Structure 1
Amino acid sequence: MIQWSKKFTVLAVGSVLSLGAMEAIAHKEGDFILRVGAAHVSPNDNSSNVLGTDDGVTVDSATGLGFSGTWMLSDRWGLEVLAALPFEHDIKGTGSLSGLPIGSTKHLPPTVSFQYYPEIEGDVFNPYFGLGVNYTLFMDETASPELKTALGSSDVKLSLDNSVGLAGQIGADWKVGDDWFINAGLWYVDIDTEADVIVDGATATTVNVDIDPWVAMLGFAWRF
Structure 2
Amino acid sequence: MEIQTYIQKKYETEVWVNKPSSERQGDTVSWTIGIIKEANRPDLPRQKMHIDVCAIPSFDIEKRPLINHYDIVVPTEGILVPVQSLQETLADKLIALAYRARRIKPRDIWDIVWIKQRGINLSKTLVEKKLVARNKHIEDFRQALSMQLSKLMLEDEVRNDFNMEMSRFIPKQIKERTLNNPEYWGYVQAEINAIASELLNDGAVKKPFDMG
Q: TM-score, normalised by structure 1?
A: 0.23
Larger Rg: 1
Q: Which is strand-richer, 1 or 2?
A: 1
